A and B are shown apart, each in its own frame.
Chain A
Amino acid sequence: MGYDLNMKVWRGDESGGELTDYVVPVEEGEVVLDALHRLQATQAGDLAVRWNCKAGKCGSCSAEINGKPRLTCMTRLSVFEPGETVTVTPLRTFPVIRDLVTDVSYNYEKAKKVPPLSPEPRQADGTYRMQQEDVERGQEFRKCIECFLCQSVCHVIRDHEDNKEAFSGPRLFLRYAELEMHPLETKDHREAAKAEAGVGLCNITKCCTEVCPESIKITDNAIIPVKERVVDRSYDPLVWLGSKIFRRSADD
């Protein structure tokens, strides 16, 4: 059954803006992005929003809905009380470009600092052998759709522009964790995780994990193990070497 939804949408650009009221007809089963699209098509042709897949796979459509960072394409209107006003604002941690579109280049700049994989040589037959259990940890991190919701919610940078220089944020910590735990990697990335990405600034509040639409256990499975390895390194480099040497091989 269709009904009229009351919405407040932030409209504006870097010079400022305001919440604008709209009433949008919506249908059963729709998501917030549907309502925004209907606004675009009928009342506000120039409303700026990002989206691509409309199925939670590309991470383009992030915004803050009633103050919570979420994917607009995966937020069903049925989660709101009937009559509740739905307020959509841009991600707070990044500078606004226009309306709901923010400048997320911070994330892309930080990604440039992540070292590439330096894999061990292939087997004689041209393949790599890895066991399913050994790839699964990395696969969890590689589920990341780069929606940057975790980046937006992390208090280290959410209200502290000055920390952005030294801190790459939870999305990027996944990259370092992935390298550290990659079954084929030959190099040690702990120093980079500490010095370049600033993993030490994280104080494990787990806010990032809570908002991740891919349910990646960012803090428990990536950040904490990397922090532990960083600490270990100052005591005993052999610990790291050992974790590499004793990984499971196809023969056992």
Chain B
Amino acid sequence: MTDPSTIERHSYDVLVVGAGGAGLRAAIAAHDAGAKVAIICKSLLGKAHTVMAEGGAAAAMGNVYSEDNWRVHFRDTMRGGKMLNHWRMAQLHAQEAPDRIHELEDWGALFDRTPDGLISQRDFGGHRYARLAHVGDRTGLELIRTLQQRAVALGIDVYMECTVTKLFQEGGRITGAFGYWRESGRFIVFEAPTVVLATGGIGKSYKVTSNSWEYTGDGHALALEAGASLVNMEFVQFHPTGMVWPPSVKGILVTESVRGDGGVLRNSEGRRFMFDYIPEFFKSETADNEAEADRWYDDKTNNRRPPELLPRDEVARAINAEVKAGRGSPHGGVFLDIASRRSAEYIQRRLPSMYHQFKELADVDITAEPMEVGPTCHYVMGGVAVDPDTEESTVTGLYAAGEVAGGMHGANRLGGNSLSDLLVFGRRAGIAAAAAATAAPSERVSISDDDVTAAADAALAPFERQGGENPYSVQQDLQDIMHRLVGIIRRADEMQQALSELEQLKERSAQLSVEGHRQYNPGWHLALDLHNMLRVSECIAKAALERTESRGGHTRDDYPATEDDWGTVNLHCVLDDDAVSVRRETLPEMPDELRELFEEK
């Protein structure tokens, strides 16, 4: 038993869990609104996933194509999401993204420029016009560094290498959070009337993934356990182009910018196979021959976009099908070729970190030979269901922004829409949380000693057990189950199988033991993270089983068609007696003036 009076305690108006783009932007906004703010993150400051984003941030600034505006961006986002997005989030995102990008320049960001000195914008899949503000292929680094430096300059308190394992509540509203310092293993309690979850995604539950150890769905699980619902969890994005060889780098991302900048996909017969996979839904806007596709890079007005730039779900499925049909590359992917299409100088200038990554890790010179690529688990569209304007969940005082929040991207996210999402909704969450926290300071409730003791005991449980299983092997089995049975192509019997295997894993994970002591012990940290990974995996499998159609990031072998009836239904996962249950909700209705945007041509 831990004595609660010995535990370090702090009190804040707004507690932001996560220091990626969403968390940092939320903290800056809450600080600017006058709140006392803290940021907590599992890694060192500046190392969150956002740092890895490559291609860019989507915003209809119209710097390259003056025809672009928020309505076009909104329409692209909704169509990319197969119309399942929350229309209001997609609207706010498209309207506010340009301002959010511009203000980064006030704080020191240096984006690549157009010839007349404006922020340059690049092409990406599913976006009608060149729209991604970028810095070579390291845009995420620019974004996180800019926000990090801003947050530091404002003097916001940062608790780094500190992991939250539990949210406290009283009378249905949030009162704070419990966590441990990774360095010492000591516990820490935060009292706060509002908590903004900005914890990112869940990709570590899959075997082949572009995501790091941090992506264990902590925020998703914390919200679920606090009583919030998770929406759209069946939609997991498999990015079409991850590295496939050598084995140790399998899954590491190859940015979509390679295709945006002219790269094409070929099978072992040398064919640009994407022409064989253009779906009805995108026929009118996709080129059906190579000549037109190649002209598009320079003349977008008179030509349709190449099929390599279809939304990610389409491209990932096509690659999967080519490999299955025996037309894959030697290591089980397909070829991504930019070497034969652009000069070495152009490639090195536009894609420096891809050049470096392949050279160093795979001995491949991408200016001279094609890359081998295949699908990799990349992003979760599903997340905490929130109010579009404030990002508050159904739990009072609990907010979510960034990848951990759901609704914005519907069934499939367009590339570049995440970085802008972080900024738009991070800021909104910070403002709303600050307003709520500072409006009624007297309503503050304290956290009971019993709750603190219970949270501490739960965290220490893996040390109490002797001779139990090692968390690494349970994690490996989980990744294998999700990859095999709830992966890119799904079937009812396989998902049922997955659910029963997940039940066994839950039992095994309740019996884990860890070696060593509490100081910087990754085995212990993983034992605690596994709990969250299992929760989230159960949500994904249950929601995926429930949705008997194929749409966006959810493809059913046994229900291959997209069904109109399902087009108005969102699935919400909630926790019922320690088990996940799924309920259907009708999609919010779009106002007429927005609906009209989909009727033209």
How many Å from the CB of B49 to the closest CB on chain A? 8
Q: In the complex, are the beta carbons of B514 and A55 less than 8 A apart? A: no
* Complex interface bits, B356-367 against A, C-beta within 8 A gives 1, otherwise 0: 110011100000
Does A64 interact with chain B (Cβ within 8 Å)? no
* Distance of A18 from chain B, by nearest CB (Å): 16
B106 to chain A, nearest CB (A): 6
Q: Within the assembled complex, what's the spacing in Å between the Cα atoms of A42 and B473?
A: 9
Q: In the assembly, what is the distance between CA of A76 and CA of B519, in Å? A: 29
Docked complex: B495-524 residues within 8 A CB-CB of A: 514-517, 519-524
Q: Does A104 reach chain B (CB closer than 8 Å)?
A: yes
Contact assessment for A104 and B44 in the assembled complex, using a CB-CB cutoff below 8 Å? yes
Q: For the complex, give the distance between the alpha carbons of A28 and B362 in Å.
A: 10
The answer to whether the Cβ of B594 comes within 8 Å of any Cβ in the partner chain is no
**A184 interface contact, C-beta 8 A:** yes
Using A30-B248, A45-B471, A127-B102 as known contacts, say yes or no to A97 and B520 having CB atoms under 8 A apart. yes
Q: Would you call B47 an interface residue if the criterion is a C-beta within 8 Å of the partner chain's C-beta atoms?
A: yes
Interface residues on A, range: 35 or more
The B-contacting residues of A in range 167-213, CB under 8 angstroms, are 178, 182, 184
CA gap between A250 and B118 in the complex, in Å:
9
Q: Once the chains are docked, how many angstroms separate the CA of A142 from the CA of B520?
A: 30
Decide: A146 near B46, CB < 8 A? Known: A29-B246, A57-B353. Answer: yes
Which of these binds chain A: B108-116, B164-172, B284-292? B108-116
**B333 vs chain A, min Cβ distance (A):** 15
What is the bound-complex CA distance between A98 and B517, given in angstroms? 11
**Roughly how many angstroms separate A101 CA and B182 CA in the complex, as a whole number?**
11
Contacts of A117 in B (CB 8 A): 106-108
Query: Which of these binds chain A: B142-150, B297-305, B540-548?
Result: B142-150
* A130-B252 in contact given A116-B107, A138-B110 (Cβ < 8 Å): no
- The A interface, classified by DSSP as helix, strand, loop or mixed, is loop
The answer to whether A246 has its CB under 8 Å from any CB of chain B is: no
The answer on a CB contact under 8 Å between A143 and B245 is no
Q: Is the CB of B149 within 8 A of A76?
A: no
Q: Distance (Å) between the CB of B102 and the closest chain A CB? A: 6
Q: Are A99 and B248 in contact (CB under 8 A)?
A: no
Contact partners of B118 in chain A: CB under 8 A: 127, 129
B213 touching A111, Cβ below 8 Å: no
Whether B145 and A142, one on each chain, are in contact in the complex, defined by CB atoms closer than 8 angstroms, is: yes
B520–A101 contact, CB under 8 A? yes
Please provide the chain B residues from 230 to 252 with a CB less than 8 Å away from any CB of chain A in the complex.
245-249, 252
Give Cα A197–Cα B587 distance, bound, in whole angstroms. Answer: 56
Closest to B473 in A: A41
Q: Please tell me if B212 contacts chain A, counting CB pairs below 8 Å.
A: yes
> With contacts A30-B246, A52-B47 known, is A135 near B522, CB below 8 A?
no
- With A27-B247, A28-B246, A98-B520 as known contacts, state yes or no: A142 contacts B142, CB within 8 Å: yes
The answer to whether A29 and B245 have CB atoms under 8 Å apart is yes
* Residues of A close to B45: CB separation below 8 A: 108
Which one of B47, B111, B136 contacts A60 once the chains associate, using CB atoms below 8 Å?
Answer: B47
Q: Smallest CB-CB separation from B51: which chain A residue?
A: A58
8 Å CB contact of B362 from A29, A45, A130, A138: A29
Minimum distance in angstroms from B27 CB to a CB of chain A: 16
> B472 contacts the other chain (Cβ, under 8 Å)?
yes
Contact check: which of B102, B135, B212, B472 meets A52 at CB < 8 Å?
Answer: B212
Q: A160 to nearest B CB, angstroms?
A: 24
A45/B112 in contact, CB under 8 A: no
Encoded as 1 (CB less than 8 Å from any B CB) or 0, chain A from 117 to 156 comes to 1010010001111111001001100110110000000000
- Specify which chain B residues have a CB less than 8 angstroms from the CB of A104 in the assembled complex: 44
Determine whether the beta carbon of A250 is less than 8 Å from that of B116.
yes
Q: Are A145 and B519 in contact (CB under 8 A)?
A: no
Residue B378 interfacial (CB < 8 Å) = no
Shortest distance in angstroms between B487's beta carbon and chain A's nearest beta carbon? 21
The complex places the Cα of A103 from the Cα of B161 at a distance, in Å, of 11
Cα A168 to Cα B471 in complex, Å, equals 40
Residues of A within 8 A of B471 (CB): 45
User: How far apart are A239's CB and chain B's nearest CB, in angstroms?
Assistant: 24
Question: Is B117 a contact of A50 with CB atoms below 8 Å?
Answer: no
A46 touching B360 in the complex, CB below 8 Å, given contacts A132-B113, A182-B108: no
Nearest chain A residue, comparing its CB with the CB of B48: A52
Within the assembled complex, what's the spacing in Å between the Cα atoms of A225 and B144? 27
Is B214 close to A, CB under 8 A?
yes
Q: Does B585 contact A (CB under 8 A)?
A: no
140-164 of chain B: CB within 8 A of chain A: 141-142, 145, 149-150, 152-153, 160
B43 at the interface (CB under 8 A from A): yes
- In the bound complex, residues from chain A placing their C-beta under 8 Å from that of B119 are 127
Q: Which residues of A contact B (CB under 8 A)?
A: 13, 27-31, 34, 40-42, 45-60, 74, 76, 97-99, 101, 103-104, 108, 111-112, 114-117, 119, 122, 126-132, 135, 138-139, 142-143, 145-146, 178, 182, 184, 250
Further pairs besides A13-B519, A52-B214, A142-B110: 16, Cβ < 8 Å: A27-B246, A29-B249, A30-B246, A46-B515, A46-B517, A51-B213, A52-B51, A52-B213, A54-B249, A55-B249, A58-B52, A74-B361, A97-B520, A116-B107, A143-B138, A145-B51
**A-B CB proximity, top 8 nearest:** A29-B246, A46-B516, A129-B117, A45-B523, A41-B472, A116-B153, A250-B117, A48-B520
Could you list 8 examples of A-B contacts with CB < 8 Å? A29-B246, A41-B472, A52-B51, A55-B361, A57-B353, A58-B47, A104-B44, A116-B153
